[in-house]
């Protein structure tokens, strides 16, 4: 009797696993620990949550599918922040802040992670000096 119950539980778990993989309800981006930045999404990954809300991270862990290729002629905008910039999994890629700003500004490169603080953001810029204000110019309000 116990073996039938165990077999039934295993079968239910297998069916549940199959349904969750098919519906992609468990498709989340992977993070990596970084001794300097803290934590950041792994580069070069993409997926979708529930087959609806797509997400992607490029070669610099920026929340956009396009590889980082700054324009030599047009202005590029680096958007650094926390979960507001990242957008999470609950929005389609085209509905996230970076993509929406990109419709008005041109190339926008969003980078951030949930609960990032100024320290994480500064560390990311330190790790990638090409993005620092000294190399791209800055303005103060």
Residue 141 inside a domain? The answer is: no
Q: Are 52 and 92 in contact (CB under 8 A)?
A: yes
Percentage of residues in the chain having pLDDT higher than 70 = 85
| Average pLDDT for the chain | 83
Longest dimension (CA), the chain: 74
Query: Could you read off the pLDDT of 23-80 as tens digits, one per residue?
Result: 555 578 899 999 999 999 999 999 887 777 888 999 999 999 999 988 888 888 899 9
Please report whether residue 62 resides in a domain.
yes
pLDDT for residue 24: 58
Q: How many residues does the chain have?
A: 141
Indicate the pLDDT class of residue 136, thresholds 50, 70 and 90. very low
> Which is nearest to 89 in space by CA: 6, 30, 17?
30
Residue 100 belongs to what domain range? 2-136
Q: Report how far residue 110's alpha carbon sits from residue 77's, in angstroms, rounded to the nearest whole number.
A: 8
Least Cα distance to 111 among 68, 76, 62 occurs for 62
Split into its structural domains, the chain has a count of 1
Q: What are phi and psi of 47, to 5 degrees?
A: 180, -165
What does the pLDDT read at residue 38? 95
The answer to whether residue 115 is domain-embedded is yes
Q: How far apart are the first and last CA of the chain?
A: 74
Q: Enter the tokens of residue 31.
A: 């993070």
């Amino acid at each position: 009797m116990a073996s039938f119950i165990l077999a039934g539980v295993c079968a239910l778990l297998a069916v549940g696993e199959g349904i969750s993989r098919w519906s992609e309800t468990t498709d989340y981006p992977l993070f990596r620990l970084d001794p300097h930045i803290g934590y950041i999404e792994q580069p070069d990954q993409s997926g979708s949550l529930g087959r609806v809300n797509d997400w992607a991270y490029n070669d610099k862990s920026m929340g956009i599918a396009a590889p980082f290729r700054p324009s030599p002629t047009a202005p590029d905008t680096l958007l650094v922040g926390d979960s507001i910039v990242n957008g999470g999994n609950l929005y389609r890629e085209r509905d996230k802040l970076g993509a929406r700003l990109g419709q008005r500004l041109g190339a926008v490169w969003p980078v951030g992670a949930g609960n990032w603080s100024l320290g994480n953001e500064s560390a990311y810029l330190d790790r990638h000096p090409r993005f620092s204000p000294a190399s791209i110019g800055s303005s103060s309000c």
